[in-house]
Amino acid sequence: MPVSIVGVSSGVNFLQVFGPASQADQLSLVGRVGARWSSGFGALPGVYSMSYAPAYRLYFMPTNWSGASGYNATQLDWLYYNHPDWIEYGSDGNVMYEFGNTTYPVVDVSNPAVQQYMYQSMAAHAAGYQALSLDNVSTSNINNSAVYQTGHYSGTIAPCPAALRPACGGVFVAQYTSAGDPAWTAANLKYIRFLSAQAKAAGLSTVANLAYQGGPAWVDLANSVSGVVAENVPQHQGATAANDWYNGFMIDGLFEANLYNADNATQKCYGAISYLNGHDTDAITPEEESYAMAWTLLAAQSDQHFLFAGQISSRAVEPYPPSMGGYVSLTTSGTLSASSETITNIPSTAGYAPGESVTATGLPAGTLITAVPGSTSITVSQLPTIAGTNVSLTISGLPALPMGKPVAPPPAVNPYATPPTGECGWVNGANQGVCSRQYSNGWVYMNPVCQYDGTGCAVASQTVTIPAASSGSWYDPFCNVVPSGSHTMNAATALVIAQGAAGQCPWP
């Protein structure tokens, strides 16, 4: 089934953006991505832009609210002034917040009036966008501080002065008794479905940043929206505890949960955003790059259709490797010929791939690379208009990965069955071996298991048998030849290979 978000087909490069310095910086991204999940700026022409909107927090400052006598110009004071019964309280007895941020209070999304207000405030900020990017959608009634929602006050007085808070003259209504309360799960699903239906009626898609937890609740939420962003798949977290994280690699149950999610969700876009080295890529290692690539290729429903990682810093563009789907922007030189579409005398073609744009004096507008026949020459789509001239060349664009299309579906795994079942990973207390998936021009192998013993991975390495290439050789993304036959994979490692011509690496 092709991947789409209301008109966006497979093959888009997907970027998460928070706040480059200016609108001009963001405009520089046009052409570098096909879809952009979030931004502090307006929609961009030529990019499928999504308007940022946290799911449960009163994020946008209510219209024309600048405070009143005894009330500050904050979202919480607006609630106390207008709707104190909308405020949700946590298991610690305080106003509910998320992620330690006390600017944006959580509201009671089971309240139909709150649902309507939340959607209207989101839609009011979505003019010119194609979708809502719903942030921090969860399957669990809890935030990252182990505080869960418990209820709200009903029959409150509005405005509510400080002396009457938190009750505001009302009576506390207990709604939820635990982080896993099924009442919250049901109310949450109903709310997300409401937002999605309202957005669809207005011509907007909904793309949710959905927490990694798996199981039916995750799938129900994913299938209620247009697309999913699976954040932190994997994220560089360092060593923590057994069966959790190890040196930035997703392992064991967490890997299986995400694989289950990708395989069972039927919405059209599944975008895995991996921050790796603390949201930046300056220090990304080959091992991390291979692991993130392998995860994405294992989970993809059809073609490669999203970028593995997003920009979340103040820089305009983060330099993701071209082999991971990153944007190529290179300046070089070469010799044109009026009788041939081949440009010669290029110092190096590393990073060049068919489909990238070539700009130079003497080349018609819209010229693309059609082939990279050698290390010093490229073939382009249009004949140069001048001959025998050495010119400056600009190479840019999003090279397609040389894997081709999936031959096999994503590996099937169900860690929630009794007993758990699956083809790979740590299932039912036993190492089921290496995950693998065949593509039309490549293979993906991953050993996701790491039994962390306090120092390192205690699981023994696994052996895979790499089939012979039908022609040429197998190459990894770093252009190393990978011989066929037996290959040993350590715990929490991956191998991605694509077939290239003899002596010609297929990776950009």
**3-class SS of residue 499:** strand
Burial environment of residue 66 by CB neighbours within 10 A (0 to 12, 13 to 18, 19 or more):
exposed
- Show the 3-state SS of 363-394: CCCCCEEEECCCCCCEEECCCCCCCCEEEEEE
Interval 39-61 mean pLDDT: 83
Residue pair 91/147 in contact (Cβ under 8 Å)? The answer is: yes
Q: Which residues pair with 437 in a beta bridge?
A: 444
- On the CB side of 453, CA atoms within 13 Å amount to 7
Angle at 388 between CA 353 and CA 360, to 5 degrees: 45
User: Tokens for 232?
Assistant: 């932190």
Q: What is the pLDDT of residue 245?
A: 41
CA–CA distance, 8 with 12 (Å, rounded to integer): 8
- Reported confidence tier of residue 37, pLDDT bands at 50, 70, 90: confident
CA–CA distance, 163 with 325 (Å, rounded to integer): 57
Element (H, E) at 506: none
Q: Which residues pair with 330 in a beta bridge?
A: 395
- Reported confidence tier of residue 6, pLDDT bands at 50, 70, 90: very low
User: Tokens for 367?
Assistant: 């010229």
pLDDT tens digits for range 377-403: 999 999 999 888 899 999 987 777 788
Interval 173-184 mean pLDDT: 96
pLDDT averaged over the chain? 81
Q: What is the pLDDT of residue 292?
A: 75
Interval 30-52 mean pLDDT: 70
Q: What is the pLDDT of residue 262?
A: 76
pLDDT at residue 252 above 70?
A: no
pLDDT tens digits for range 311-334: 433 333 445 566 666 667 789 999
Q: What is the pLDDT of residue 268?
A: 57
Locate tokens 């087909």: which residue?
A: 9
- Reported confidence tier of residue 417, pLDDT bands at 50, 70, 90: confident
Interval 420-430 mean pLDDT: 78
The DSSP code sequence of 385-421 is: SS-SEEEEEEEEE-PPPTT-SBSSPPPPEETTSSS-E
Question: Cα separations (Å) of 309 from 52, 207, 279, 449, 485?
Answer: 17, 16, 8, 22, 32
Q: What is the pLDDT of residue 232?
A: 59
CA–CA distance, 19 with 316 (Å, rounded to integer): 9
Residue pair 269/56 in contact (Cβ under 8 Å)? The answer is: no
Instruction: Give residues with Cβ within 8 angstroms of 495, minimum separation 6.
Output: 290, 294, 443, 444, 445, 446, 464, 476, 482, 487, 489
pLDDT at residue 419 above 70?
A: yes
- Reported confidence tier of residue 157, pLDDT bands at 50, 70, 90: very high
Rounded to two decimals, the pTM is: 0.82
